[in-house]
Protein backbone atom coordinates (compact mmCIF):
# COMPACT_ATOMS: atom_id res chain seq x y z
CA UNK A 1 0.00 0.00 0.00
CA UNK A 2 2.80 2.41 0.85
CA UNK A 3 3.76 2.72 -2.81
CA UNK A 4 0.24 3.92 -3.62
CA UNK A 5 0.26 6.81 -1.17
CA UNK A 6 2.02 10.16 -1.24
CA UNK A 7 4.99 10.34 1.11
CA UNK A 8 6.11 13.89 0.36
CA UNK A 9 6.05 16.35 3.24
CA UNK A 10 5.86 13.59 5.83
CA UNK A 11 8.69 13.10 8.30
CA UNK A 12 10.65 9.86 8.42
CA UNK A 13 9.36 9.36 11.97
CA UNK A 14 5.74 9.60 10.83
CA UNK A 15 6.35 7.35 7.82
CA UNK A 16 7.96 4.73 10.04
CA UNK A 17 4.99 4.94 12.40
CA UNK A 18 2.54 4.65 9.49
CA UNK A 19 4.32 1.54 8.20
CA UNK A 20 4.15 -0.04 11.66
CA UNK A 21 0.44 0.77 11.88
CA UNK A 22 -0.15 -0.82 8.48
CA UNK A 23 1.68 -4.02 9.43
CA UNK A 24 -0.18 -4.19 12.75
CA UNK A 25 -3.61 -3.72 11.19
CA UNK A 26 -3.00 -6.22 8.41
CA UNK A 27 -1.33 -8.92 10.50
CA UNK A 28 -2.89 -8.57 13.96
CA UNK A 29 -6.24 -6.81 13.64
CA UNK A 30 -7.62 -7.99 10.28
CA UNK A 31 -7.92 -11.61 11.49
CA UNK A 32 -10.53 -10.40 14.02
CA UNK A 33 -12.88 -9.22 11.27
CA UNK A 34 -14.86 -12.46 11.55
CA UNK A 35 -14.88 -12.38 15.37
CA UNK A 36 -18.31 -13.19 16.81
CA UNK A 37 -18.00 -10.38 19.36
CA UNK A 38 -19.42 -7.96 16.81
CA UNK A 39 -23.10 -7.17 16.54
CA UNK A 40 -25.66 -4.83 15.05
CA UNK A 41 -24.44 -2.00 17.29
CA UNK A 42 -20.71 -2.42 16.84
CA UNK A 43 -17.86 -4.34 18.45
CA UNK A 44 -18.51 -5.44 22.02
CA UNK A 45 -16.65 -3.87 24.92
CA UNK A 46 -14.80 -7.19 25.37
CA UNK A 47 -13.56 -7.10 21.78
CA UNK A 48 -12.57 -3.44 22.09
CA UNK A 49 -10.57 -4.21 25.21
CA UNK A 50 -8.90 -7.19 23.52
CA UNK A 51 -7.89 -5.21 20.44
CA UNK A 52 -6.65 -2.23 22.44
CA UNK A 53 -4.55 -4.47 24.65
CA UNK A 54 -2.80 -5.72 21.53
CA UNK A 55 -2.27 -2.17 20.25
CA UNK A 56 -0.89 -1.15 23.63
CA UNK A 57 1.51 -4.11 23.66
CA UNK A 58 2.68 -3.09 20.19
CA UNK A 59 3.31 0.47 21.36
CA UNK A 60 0.74 1.80 18.89
CA UNK A 61 -2.05 3.10 21.10
CA UNK A 62 -3.29 6.48 19.84
CA UNK A 63 -0.39 6.68 17.35
CA UNK A 64 -1.34 10.11 15.98
CA UNK A 65 -0.62 11.64 19.41
CA UNK A 66 2.92 10.37 20.02
CA UNK A 67 3.56 9.79 23.70
CA UNK A 68 0.23 11.44 24.47
CA UNK A 69 1.94 14.84 24.27
CA UNK A 70 1.07 16.34 20.89
CA UNK A 71 -0.48 15.66 17.51
CA UNK A 72 1.35 14.93 14.31
CA UNK A 73 0.75 17.42 11.55
CA UNK A 74 -2.49 16.80 9.67
CA UNK A 75 -0.53 15.51 6.67
CA UNK A 76 1.36 13.11 8.93
CA UNK A 77 -1.88 12.16 10.65
CA UNK A 78 -3.27 11.25 7.23
CA UNK A 79 -0.41 8.81 6.66
CA UNK A 80 -1.22 7.10 9.96
CA UNK A 81 -5.04 7.20 9.89
CA UNK A 82 -5.34 5.97 6.30
CA UNK A 83 -3.42 2.89 7.32
CA UNK A 84 -5.38 2.47 10.53
CA UNK A 85 -8.49 2.25 8.34
CA UNK A 86 -7.27 -0.76 6.35
CA UNK A 87 -9.61 -2.77 8.58
CA UNK A 88 -12.89 -1.47 10.00
CA UNK A 89 -11.52 -2.66 13.35
CA UNK A 90 -8.23 -0.81 12.96
CA UNK A 91 -9.40 2.59 14.24
CA UNK A 92 -11.15 0.88 17.17
CA UNK A 93 -7.98 -0.97 18.14
CA UNK A 94 -5.62 1.98 17.67
CA UNK A 95 -7.88 4.62 19.24
CA UNK A 96 -8.10 6.63 16.03
CA UNK A 97 -11.86 6.15 15.60
CA UNK A 98 -14.71 8.64 15.63
CA UNK A 99 -15.92 10.26 17.78
CA UNK A 100 -12.92 9.83 20.11
CA UNK A 101 -10.32 11.12 17.65
CA UNK A 102 -12.23 14.37 17.10
CA UNK A 103 -13.02 14.76 20.78
CA UNK A 104 -9.37 14.33 21.73
CA UNK A 105 -8.41 16.95 19.16
CA UNK A 106 -10.95 19.41 20.57
CA UNK A 107 -9.96 18.90 24.20
CA UNK A 108 -6.31 19.18 23.31
CA UNK A 109 -7.01 22.56 21.72
CA UNK A 110 -9.43 24.25 24.13
CA UNK A 111 -9.71 22.42 27.48
CA UNK A 112 -8.08 23.77 30.63
CA UNK A 113 -5.20 21.81 32.13
CA UNK A 114 -7.50 20.52 34.87
CA UNK A 115 -10.06 19.30 32.35
CA UNK A 116 -7.34 17.72 30.20
CA UNK A 117 -6.03 15.83 33.19
CA UNK A 118 -9.48 14.57 34.14
CA UNK A 119 -11.06 13.88 30.76
CA UNK A 120 -8.42 13.89 28.01
CA UNK A 121 -5.76 11.66 29.55
CA UNK A 122 -8.00 8.56 29.83
CA UNK A 123 -9.04 9.02 26.21
CA UNK A 124 -5.49 9.31 24.91
CA UNK A 125 -4.48 6.27 26.95
CA UNK A 126 -7.28 4.27 25.34
CA UNK A 127 -8.80 3.55 28.75
CA UNK A 128 -12.04 5.38 27.96
CA UNK A 129 -14.35 6.11 25.04
CA UNK A 130 -16.29 9.31 24.52
CA UNK A 131 -19.46 10.69 22.96
CA UNK A 132 -20.31 14.07 21.45
CA UNK A 133 -23.88 15.11 22.25
CA UNK A 134 -24.91 17.61 19.57
CA UNK A 135 -27.47 16.24 17.09
CA UNK A 136 -31.12 16.36 18.16
CA UNK A 137 -34.42 14.79 17.00
CA UNK A 138 -36.72 16.48 14.47
CA UNK A 139 -36.95 20.21 15.02
CA UNK A 140 -33.59 20.40 16.76
CA UNK A 141 -29.94 20.75 15.85
CA UNK A 142 -28.49 18.63 13.07
CA UNK A 143 -26.88 19.96 9.92
CA UNK A 144 -28.14 23.32 11.21
CA UNK A 145 -26.69 23.61 14.73
CA UNK A 146 -28.42 26.96 15.25
CA UNK A 147 -31.65 24.98 15.80
CA UNK A 148 -30.31 23.72 19.14
CA UNK A 149 -33.17 23.00 21.56
CA UNK A 150 -31.27 21.47 24.48
CA UNK A 151 -30.99 24.19 27.12
CA UNK A 152 -28.50 25.02 29.85
CA UNK A 153 -29.46 27.36 32.68
CA UNK A 154 -27.11 28.80 35.32
CA UNK A 155 -27.92 27.92 38.93
CA UNK A 156 -25.39 29.36 41.35
CA UNK A 157 -22.00 27.90 40.48
CA UNK A 158 -23.65 25.10 38.48
CA UNK A 159 -25.50 24.70 35.18
CA UNK A 160 -28.64 22.62 34.64
CA UNK A 161 -29.07 20.97 31.23
CA UNK A 162 -32.27 19.55 29.70
CA UNK A 163 -33.05 18.19 26.26
CA UNK A 164 -32.97 15.27 23.85
CA UNK A 165 -30.21 14.11 21.54
CA UNK A 166 -30.09 11.50 18.78
CA UNK A 167 -27.60 9.60 16.59
CA UNK A 168 -25.09 9.94 19.43
CA UNK A 169 -22.25 7.66 18.42
CA UNK A 170 -20.68 5.55 21.15
CA UNK A 171 -22.79 6.93 24.02
CA UNK A 172 -23.46 3.41 25.27
CA UNK A 173 -20.30 2.42 27.12
CA UNK A 174 -18.63 5.85 26.93
CA UNK A 175 -16.92 7.32 29.99
CA UNK A 176 -16.54 10.89 28.74
CA UNK A 177 -19.29 13.07 27.27
CA UNK A 178 -19.20 16.47 25.56
CA UNK A 179 -22.67 18.01 25.71
CA UNK A 180 -23.80 20.97 23.60
CA UNK A 181 -26.67 23.11 24.86
CA UNK A 182 -27.89 26.69 24.39
CA UNK A 183 -27.93 29.42 27.02
CA UNK A 184 -29.11 33.04 26.82
CA UNK A 185 -25.57 33.88 25.67
CA UNK A 186 -25.49 31.22 22.92
CA UNK A 187 -24.23 27.65 22.58
CA UNK A 188 -22.14 26.09 25.35
CA UNK A 189 -20.13 22.88 25.71
CA UNK A 190 -19.81 20.85 28.89
CA UNK A 191 -17.72 17.86 29.90
CA UNK A 192 -19.41 15.12 31.91
CA UNK A 193 -18.39 11.80 33.41
CA UNK A 194 -20.39 8.89 32.02
CA UNK A 195 -22.52 7.06 32.78
CA UNK A 196 -24.62 9.68 34.55
CA UNK A 197 -28.12 9.14 35.98
CA UNK A 198 -29.41 12.33 34.33
CA UNK A 199 -28.36 11.09 30.86
CA UNK A 200 -30.64 8.23 29.83
CA UNK A 201 -30.46 6.06 26.73
CA UNK A 202 -33.92 5.89 25.18
CA UNK A 203 -32.85 3.36 22.57
CA UNK A 204 -29.95 2.24 20.40
CA UNK A 205 -30.88 2.85 16.78
CA UNK A 206 -30.60 0.10 14.19
CA UNK A 207 -28.52 1.67 11.42
CA UNK A 208 -26.92 0.62 8.15
CA UNK A 209 -23.44 0.80 9.71
CA UNK A 210 -22.05 -1.10 12.69
CA UNK A 211 -18.32 -0.42 12.95
CA UNK A 212 -18.37 1.93 15.96
CA UNK A 213 -18.58 0.62 19.53
CA UNK A 214 -21.81 1.53 21.29
CA UNK A 215 -23.73 2.17 18.10
CA UNK A 216 -25.83 5.33 17.73
CA UNK A 217 -28.18 6.26 20.57
CA UNK A 218 -31.22 8.39 21.22
CA UNK A 219 -30.65 10.20 24.51
CA UNK A 220 -32.73 12.07 27.07
CA UNK A 221 -31.03 14.61 29.34
CA UNK A 222 -33.13 15.32 32.42
CA UNK A 223 -31.88 18.01 34.84
CA UNK A 224 -28.20 17.28 34.33
CA UNK A 225 -26.47 19.43 36.94
CA UNK A 226 -22.81 20.22 36.33
CA UNK A 227 -20.28 22.50 38.06
CA UNK A 228 -19.47 25.64 36.10
CA UNK A 229 -15.82 24.59 35.80
CA UNK A 230 -16.89 21.66 33.57
CA UNK A 231 -17.86 24.10 30.82
CA UNK A 232 -15.39 24.42 27.97
CA UNK A 233 -14.45 28.09 27.88
CA UNK A 234 -17.14 30.68 28.47
CA UNK A 235 -20.90 30.74 27.78
CA UNK A 236 -21.68 31.31 24.11
CA UNK A 237 -18.45 29.83 22.75
CA UNK A 238 -19.91 26.44 21.86
CA UNK A 239 -20.35 27.03 18.12
CA UNK A 240 -16.81 28.38 17.82
CA UNK A 241 -15.46 25.27 19.52
CA UNK A 242 -17.60 23.10 17.26
CA UNK A 243 -15.81 24.65 14.28
CA UNK A 244 -12.45 23.82 15.87
CA UNK A 245 -13.54 20.19 15.98
CA UNK A 246 -15.59 19.75 12.82
CA UNK A 247 -13.09 20.41 10.01
CA UNK A 248 -10.39 18.05 11.34
CA UNK A 249 -13.05 15.46 12.25
CA UNK A 250 -14.49 15.52 8.72
CA UNK A 251 -11.00 15.05 7.34
CA UNK A 252 -10.22 12.17 9.71
CA UNK A 253 -13.31 10.37 8.41
CA UNK A 254 -11.92 10.77 4.90
CA UNK A 255 -8.58 9.33 5.99
CA UNK A 256 -9.98 6.25 7.73
CA UNK A 257 -12.50 5.32 5.05
CA UNK A 258 -9.93 5.88 2.32
CA UNK A 259 -7.88 3.14 3.98
CA UNK A 260 -10.91 0.86 4.10
CA UNK A 261 -11.60 1.37 0.40
CA UNK A 262 -7.96 0.72 -0.49
CA UNK A 263 -8.37 -2.66 1.22
CA UNK A 264 -11.72 -3.32 -0.51
CA UNK A 265 -10.03 -2.58 -3.83
CA UNK A 266 -7.29 -5.08 -2.97
CA UNK A 267 -9.86 -7.77 -2.19
CA UNK A 268 -11.90 -7.11 -5.34
CA UNK A 269 -8.72 -7.06 -7.47
CA UNK A 270 -7.61 -10.39 -6.07
CA UNK A 271 -11.05 -11.86 -6.74
CA UNK A 272 -11.13 -10.54 -10.31
CA UNK A 273 -7.74 -12.04 -11.08
CA UNK A 274 -8.54 -15.45 -9.60
CA UNK A 275 -12.14 -15.86 -10.76
CA UNK A 276 -12.68 -17.11 -14.33
CA UNK A 277 -15.75 -16.62 -16.50
CA UNK A 278 -16.31 -17.12 -20.22
CA UNK A 279 -12.86 -18.55 -20.70
CA UNK A 280 -10.70 -15.94 -19.00
CA UNK A 281 -10.15 -14.14 -15.68
CA UNK A 282 -12.73 -11.50 -14.79
CA UNK A 283 -10.07 -8.77 -14.87
CA UNK A 284 -9.68 -9.34 -18.62
CA UNK A 285 -13.33 -8.48 -19.26
CA UNK A 286 -13.50 -4.73 -19.86
CA UNK A 287 -16.71 -4.40 -17.86
CA UNK A 288 -14.80 -5.58 -14.78
CA UNK A 289 -11.34 -4.26 -15.50
CA UNK A 290 -12.64 -0.76 -16.19
CA UNK A 291 -14.41 -0.64 -12.83
CA UNK A 292 -11.18 -1.46 -11.03
CA UNK A 293 -9.31 1.07 -13.17
CA UNK A 294 -11.85 3.77 -12.26
CA UNK A 295 -11.45 2.80 -8.62
CA UNK A 296 -7.72 3.39 -8.83
CA UNK A 297 -8.40 6.87 -10.25
CA UNK A 298 -10.97 7.69 -7.57
CA UNK A 299 -8.72 6.47 -4.77
CA UNK A 300 -5.86 8.65 -5.94
CA UNK A 301 -8.10 11.70 -6.29
CA UNK A 302 -9.53 11.08 -2.81
CA UNK A 303 -6.04 10.83 -1.37
CA UNK A 304 -4.86 14.04 -3.01
CA UNK A 305 -7.96 15.97 -1.86
CA UNK A 306 -7.38 14.67 1.67
CA UNK A 307 -3.74 15.76 1.68
CA UNK A 308 -4.62 19.16 0.19
CA UNK A 309 -7.10 19.81 2.99
CA UNK A 310 -4.57 18.55 5.54
CA UNK A 311 -2.09 21.14 4.29
CA UNK A 312 -4.71 23.89 4.67
CA UNK A 313 -5.30 22.89 8.30
CA UNK A 314 -1.55 22.68 8.90
CA UNK A 315 -1.31 26.31 7.75
CA UNK A 316 -3.36 27.30 10.80
CA UNK A 317 -6.59 28.01 8.91
CA UNK A 318 -9.92 26.65 10.10
CA UNK A 319 -10.34 25.00 6.70
CA UNK A 320 -14.14 25.09 6.89
CA UNK A 321 -14.66 25.50 3.15
CA UNK A 322 -11.82 23.18 2.19
CA UNK A 323 -13.02 20.43 4.53
CA UNK A 324 -16.54 20.72 3.09
CA UNK A 325 -15.17 20.33 -0.42
CA UNK A 326 -13.00 17.42 0.61
CA UNK A 327 -15.77 15.66 2.51
CA UNK A 328 -18.05 15.82 -0.53
CA UNK A 329 -15.40 14.77 -3.04
CA UNK A 330 -13.97 11.95 -0.95
CA UNK A 331 -17.25 10.48 0.32
CA UNK A 332 -18.73 10.43 -3.18
CA UNK A 333 -15.57 8.95 -4.72
CA UNK A 334 -15.32 6.26 -2.06
CA UNK A 335 -18.98 5.39 -2.55
CA UNK A 336 -18.21 4.69 -6.21
CA UNK A 337 -15.20 2.60 -5.20
CA UNK A 338 -17.11 0.55 -2.63
CA UNK A 339 -20.02 -0.01 -5.02
CA UNK A 340 -17.70 -1.12 -7.81
CA UNK A 341 -15.95 -3.56 -5.47
CA UNK A 342 -19.28 -5.17 -4.56
CA UNK A 343 -20.24 -5.34 -8.25
CA UNK A 344 -16.95 -6.87 -9.33
CA UNK A 345 -17.33 -9.62 -6.75
CA UNK A 346 -20.93 -10.40 -7.66
CA UNK A 347 -22.69 -12.65 -5.17
CA UNK A 348 -19.55 -12.89 -3.05
CA UNK A 349 -19.55 -9.12 -2.74
CA UNK A 350 -22.82 -9.03 -0.83
CA UNK A 351 -21.79 -11.64 1.73
CA UNK A 352 -19.98 -11.06 5.00
CA UNK A 353 -17.19 -13.43 3.91
CA UNK A 354 -15.00 -10.37 3.27
CA UNK A 355 -15.14 -6.80 4.53
CA UNK A 356 -16.24 -5.46 1.12
CA UNK A 357 -19.95 -5.60 1.99
CA UNK A 358 -19.31 -3.93 5.34
CA UNK A 359 -17.20 -1.18 3.79
CA UNK A 360 -20.02 -0.49 1.31
CA UNK A 361 -22.49 0.01 4.18
CA UNK A 362 -20.10 2.16 6.18
CA UNK A 363 -19.30 4.43 3.23
CA UNK A 364 -23.00 4.86 2.50
CA UNK A 365 -23.43 6.18 6.03
CA UNK A 366 -20.29 8.34 5.68
CA UNK A 367 -22.02 10.32 2.92
CA UNK A 368 -24.36 11.57 5.66
CA UNK A 369 -22.10 11.82 8.72
CA UNK A 370 -20.58 15.22 9.44
CA UNK A 371 -22.99 16.82 6.98
CA UNK A 372 -24.69 15.27 3.95
CA UNK A 373 -23.26 16.04 0.54
CA UNK A 374 -26.20 18.33 -0.27
CA UNK A 375 -25.74 20.47 2.86
CA UNK A 376 -22.06 20.99 2.07
CA UNK A 377 -22.89 21.95 -1.52
CA UNK A 378 -25.58 24.36 -0.31
CA UNK A 379 -23.07 25.95 2.06
CA UNK A 380 -20.44 26.19 -0.66
CA UNK A 381 -22.95 27.75 -3.05
CA UNK A 382 -23.74 30.37 -0.42
CA UNK A 383 -20.05 31.18 -0.09
CA UNK A 384 -19.72 31.50 -3.87
CA UNK A 385 -22.56 34.02 -3.86
CA UNK A 386 -21.04 36.00 -0.97
CA UNK A 387 -17.63 36.01 -2.63
CA UNK A 388 -19.17 37.31 -5.87
CA UNK A 389 -20.96 40.14 -4.06
CA UNK A 390 -17.78 41.07 -2.23
CA UNK A 391 -15.87 41.17 -5.52
CA UNK A 392 -18.36 43.67 -6.92
CA UNK A 393 -17.15 46.19 -4.34
For the stretch 147-191, pLDDT in tens is 999 999 999 999 999 999 999 999 999 999 999 999 999 999 999
- pLDDT tens per residue across span 288-316: 999 999 999 999 999 999 999 999 999 99
* Segments in the chain forming alpha helices (H): 12-24, 45-57, 74-84, 90-94, 100-110, 113-115, 121-124, 238-274, 286-314, 320-345, 356-366, 373-391
Q: What pLDDT does 154 receive?
A: 97
Q: Where in the chain is CATH 2.40.110.10? A: 130-235
| Under-50 pLDDT residues of the chain | 69
Residue of 57, 77, 53 lying closest to 65 (CA atoms): 77
Q: Report the Cα 331 to chain-centroid distance in Å.
A: 12
Residues of the chain with CATH 1.20.140.10: 239-391
pLDDT of residue 5: 67
Looking at CATH, the fold of the domain delimited by 239-391 is given as: Butyryl-CoA Dehydrogenase, subunit A; domain 3 (1.20.140)
DSSP secondary structure of 223-260: EEEEEGGGBSSSTT-HHHHHHHHHHHHHHHHHHHHHHH
Query: What is residue 323's predicted lDDT score, i.e. its pLDDT?
Result: 96
Tell me the whole-structure pTM to 2 decimals.
0.95
pLDDT of residue 6: 72
Give residue 1's pLDDT: 56
What value, to the nearest 5°, has the Cα angle with vertex 381 and ends 375 and 387?
Answer: 140
Measure CA 232 to chain center. Answer: 22
CA 282 from chain center: how many Å?
34
Whether the CB-CB separation of 118 and 87 falls below 8 Å is answered with: no
The three-state secondary structure class of 159 is: strand
pLDDT score at 144: 87
CATH topology of domain 2-97: Butyryl-Coa Dehydrogenase, subunit A; domain 1 (1.10.540)
pLDDT score recorded for residue 248 = 92
Give the pLDDT confidence score for residue 22 in this predicted structure: 97
Residues of the chain within CATH 1.10.540.10 domain(s) are: 2-97
Bond into 195 cis (ω within 30): yes
Burial annotation 26-35 (CB, 10 A radius, 16+ → b, else e): bebbbebeee
The pLDDT, as a whole number, for residue 326 is 98
Class of domain 130-235: mainly beta
Tell me what pLDDT residue 71 has: 73
Amino acid sequence: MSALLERRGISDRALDLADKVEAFVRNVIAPFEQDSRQGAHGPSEALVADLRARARDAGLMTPHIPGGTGHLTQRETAAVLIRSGLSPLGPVALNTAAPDEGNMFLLGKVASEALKDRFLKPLVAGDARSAFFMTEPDGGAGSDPSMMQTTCTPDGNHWVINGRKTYITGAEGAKVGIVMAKSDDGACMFLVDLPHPAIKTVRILDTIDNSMPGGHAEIEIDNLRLPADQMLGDPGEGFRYAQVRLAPARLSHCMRWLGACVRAQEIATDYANRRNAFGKPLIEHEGVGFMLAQNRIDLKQAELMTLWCADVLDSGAYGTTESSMTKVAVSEALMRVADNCVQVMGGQGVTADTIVEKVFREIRAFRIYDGPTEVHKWSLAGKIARDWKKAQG
